[in-house]
Amino acid sequence: MVACECFEYELEMVLEGGDIAYKEYLEFGLHSYPQELRSEIIRTVNGLKGKVDAVFLVYGICNSLEGIVKELEVPTVTIAADDCIGALLTPEEYARERRKCAGTMFHTPFMTRMGRDYFVKELVSKMPNYEELGVDVDWFLGIMFDGYSRCLFIDTGIGERERYESMSKEFARQLDLRYESRDGTLEMLWDGLRQTKALASRQ
């Protein structure tokens, strides 16, 4: 299994007690650099040639992974979703939520743990001298989230829902967003794992 680290808690539940020979979580945020993400996945998966029978690649399309299986040298199962949100809601439910409110900040437990600090770090990495330039953090975040009106927490069943909801509500308060929550699903992760095991058994 090769996956984005944003799926780690959910996948550890799905893989518990399973016969997985290898697993690696790649750094979240690579989707912001599409060519780098694609290259890193190809390098990682192809490096497993001769070591594993099949790979479960736990990524959505993420703007750059369409057709990536053709470049992989190990039989690979992918997820038919645009991104991690689609994978944890199903594409149909993801589309429904976007129709309900186009300006939604989707909050999985992973995104909730990152909180406001993640976006502040983004500011620092892109503009390390922001204070000298007179850029205010709240102003920057206001620009970044301009057009957003809702924060939707997605409970994926990893536990501690109350704690995660509390953090998500605080994020919504800080960004002046309407807060809502709903259940997600691990259905696509379970299905992908089943497909990968079936593929491995045929090798």
62 confidence band (pLDDT: 50, 70, 90): confident
Residue 170: what pLDDT? 95
Query: Edge-to-edge strands of the sheet including 104-107?
Result: 104-107, 150-155, 178-183
Q: Give the DSSP H or E segment for 167.
A: helix 161-175
Residue 100: what pLDDT? 96
Alpha-carbon span 123 to 43, nearest angstrom: 29
Mean pLDDT value of segment 156-174: 96
Q: Which of 56-70, 135-149, 174-188 has the lowest mean pLDDT?
A: 135-149
Q: Give the DSSP H or E segment for 14.
A: helix 8-15
Sign of the alpha-carbon dihedral angle for 12, 13, 17, 20: negative
Question: Which tens digit of pLDDT belongs to each residue from 70-104?
Answer: 999 999 999 999 999 999 999 999 999 999 999 99
Residue 142: what pLDDT? 85
Helices (H), 25-82: 34-46
**Considering the chain, what is the average pLDDT of its residues?**
92
Alpha-carbon span 26 to 43, nearest angstrom: 12
> What is this structure's pTM?
0.90
